[in-house]
Amino acid sequence: MTEQKPIVFVIDDDPAIREALDSLLRSVGHDVRCFASVAAFLDAAKPDIASCLVLDVRLPGKSGMDFQKELTHSETPLPVIMMTGHGDIAMSVQAMKAGAIDFLPKPFREQDLLDAITTALDKDRSRRIHVAELDALRARLATLSDGERDVVAQVVLGRLNKQIAGDLAISEITVKVRRARAMRKMQAGSLAELVKMIDRLATEPSAQGH
Amino acid sequence: MPRTSFLPLLGGRLLMVLLAVLTAVIFVLDTITNFEIAVAVLYVAIVLIAVQHLGRRQVVMVAAGCMALTMLSFALTRTGSVASGLVNCAISLVAIAVTTTLALRAAAAEAAAREAQAQLAHITRVTMLGELTASIAHELNQPLAAIVLNGNAALRWLAGQPANLDEANKAAERIVRDAVRATDLIKRLRGLTKKAAGKAVRLDLNQTVTETLPLIQNEVSRHRAVLRTELADALPRVHADPVQVQQVILNLIVNALEAMKGEPQREVTVLTALGQPGEVLVSIHDSGRGLAAAQPDQIFDPFYTTKPDGMGMGLAISRSIVESHGGRIWAQAGVPRGSTFTFSLPAARERQ
């Protein structure tokens, strides 16, 4: 898997700040997309690449603080770095509680921003890998037949082939065949691995891939 | 010869003599006239004068004295009908008592109102200053942040292998543009303060000082300090905004009071004098700790403060007010102790 250039989104209503951030972030090799408002950002395409958002607190229309909260609770929780012209402690606490990577009062040290962006992109990257793995598992699970799925459901509970055969009213041979086929389809090297996979799918029912 | 007055007592001795003479006159008249003439009612005037200048307890004492004299006159009077004398005496006593009660109540209400007003003015000033500062800080922060970011970007473009001169050039151009923007902002801010400079009128500084002192009297009493004035006669008028000049005087007196906290002798003197030709001076002298700073000019810089809870804006604002009127402000060590803050205002042309 070749790593595509990560994207840094910027929302700030001040064109001077947008231009400056665009130049600075391009100079360190980021792909930068700048927007003047939340609405413009929402309209823009967001490729499935590791990305993060540098967000100003004071914006026309929807405020940065509100949008950050919304984003955190959305299905695509983009890591957010907040910046503000005049922030107070209460505001920064609120932003950090809502999951901001950092809260930078303007003017800030560029290294602080670049560090925060690195952290944010790492976080988004691992979230995307995690989501992709779950998607793959879910796709593999979908290839299982009903019979195989029934057997797997019992196997992961630690039940013996004989017990499963009895419960499902099928022969022990059939249980073994279906179990082997399911392991192959799920690409599980061992029973332990299969259990772990099913466990992972069961504990994250809400995660929707994209 | 400068006029000298002790403000808390407002020519206290003279007033006491006047009141005593008036009381004596009323007493004599009340005693020598016959019972039918109720001269004692005039004691009400004594009470009304007293309430303007004396403390609550002193007023009550004066009223009690007046009532005692009324009864003494009744006892000493030899002519006329005793019955009408009794009625007149009772009427006088009731009149004095009622007047005292009402006058004291009115005075208390007036004092409370004045204090509330002073507090409100202070709060308004502090809030406005806070909001103004926050909004200026935000407006200035934007171009400053952009300048910092562009500077960093330019450095990084230059440090690249190979250096990207085109991008570095563009970043440098943006730095210049944003710096100009910040400068414009400051210019506009200056214009704003000029607009807020208020209306300059021909002003008698002695009168301004006299009118300002009652505003701070509560604060002076709270610090248990004495406020004196030494006002020069025949000062030329100045051309200035009275409210702003008042603000400078108040700022300087508040500073003087705070400089004297914990000192055994607490005395503030407000002086007016002729300075260099065409210049009128107002000085505020205190008997406080004096100036600790080696450079007395530094104390007029914004945010310079020696007080634990000070904002360091009082003297800076005072200086900008004085300078916007074409005057100067400076501080000196006091003789023999304390410190003296003086500001000058140019005298107005003697023409309508």
Give the chain A residue whose CA is nearest to the CA of B158. Answer: A27
Residues A11 and A113 in one domain: yes
Residues A92 and A165 in one domain: no
- How many CB atoms lie under 10 A from the CB of residue B350? 8
H/E stretch holding B273: strand B267-274
CB-CB under 8 Å, A14 with B147: no
Separation of alpha carbons A68 and A96, rounded Å: 10
The total number of structural domains in chain A stands at 2
Query: What's the domain range around A162?
Result: 143-203
Residues A110 and A198 in one domain: no
Separation of alpha carbons A161 and A155, rounded Å: 8
Which residue, among B313, B319, B334, has the nearest Cα to B133 in the 3D structure? B313
Query: What's the domain range around B156?
Result: 121-195
How confident is the model at residue A30, as a pLDDT? 93
How confident is the model at residue A77, as a pLDDT? 85
Using 50 as the pLDDT threshold, list the residues of chain B that sit under it: 1-10, 352
Return the CATH number at A183. Answer: 1.10.10.10
Q: Is residue B303 part of a domain?
A: yes
Residues A108 and A169 in one domain: no
Interface pTM, i.e. ipTM: 0.75
How confident is the model at residue B7, as a pLDDT? 40
Beta bridge partners of B340: B285, B332
Q: Which residues of B touch A83 (CB under 8 A)?
A: 145
Per DSSP, the three-state class of A111 is helix
Residues B88 and B138 in one domain: no
Residues A113 and A84 in one domain: yes
CB-CB under 8 Å, B137 with A23: no
How confident is the model at residue B123, as a pLDDT? 67
pLDDT tens figures, A125-175: 999 998 889 999 999 989 989 989 999 888 888 888 899 999 888 999 999
Chain centroid to CA B72? 45
Q: Is A107 on the interface with B (CB under 8 A)?
A: yes
Give the chain A residue whose CA is nearest to the CA of B133. Answer: A86
Q: Is B185 on the interface with A (CB under 8 A)?
A: no
Residues B157 and B212 in one domain: no
The encoded tokens of residue B105 equal 């109540």
Query: Average pLDDT, whole number, for chain A?
Result: 87
Residue B324 near residue B313, CB atoms below 8 Å: no
Q: Which residues contact B30 (CB under 8 A, 6 or more apart)?
A: B39, B40, B69, B70, B73, B77
Q: What string of DSSP letters covers B50-100?
A: HHHHS-HHHHHHHHHHHHHHHHHHHHH--SS-HHHHHHHHHHHHHHHHHHH
Q: Is residue B320 part of a domain?
A: yes
The total number of structural domains in chain B stands at 3
Give the chain B residue whose CA is nearest to the CA of A83. Answer: B145
Instruction: Output A39-44 pairs: Cβ under 8 A, ≥24 positions apart.
Output: A40/A11, A41/A9, A41/A11, A44/A9
Q: Which of B179, B195, B211 is the last residue of a domain?
A: B195
Residue A88 backbone dihedrals phi, psi, to 5 degrees: -115, 175
Q: Is residue A117 part of a domain?
A: yes
pLDDT per residue, tens digit, chain A (210 aa), is: 446 789 999 999 899 999 999 999 999 999 999 999 999 999 988 888 899 999 998 887 788 888 988 888 887 789 999 998 776 788 888 888 888 999 998 888 889 999 999 999 999 999 999 888 999 999 998 998 998 999 988 888 888 889 999 988 899 999 999 999 999 999 888 888 888 888 888 887 554 444
Q: What radius of gyration do chain A's Cα atoms show?
A: 24
- Type of residue found at B12: G
Residue B240 near residue B200, CB atoms below 8 Å: yes
Residue B203 near residue B240, CB atoms below 8 Å: yes
Residues A121 and A169 in one domain: no
Residue A5 near residue A91, CB atoms below 8 Å: no
Return the CATH number at B309. Answer: 3.30.565.10
Residue B66 near residue B96, CB atoms below 8 Å: yes
How confident is the model at residue A96, as a pLDDT? 87
Q: Is A29 on the interface with B (CB under 8 A)?
A: no
Q: Is residue B283 part of a domain?
A: yes
Residues A101 and A171 in one domain: no
How confident is the model at residue B292, as a pLDDT? 63
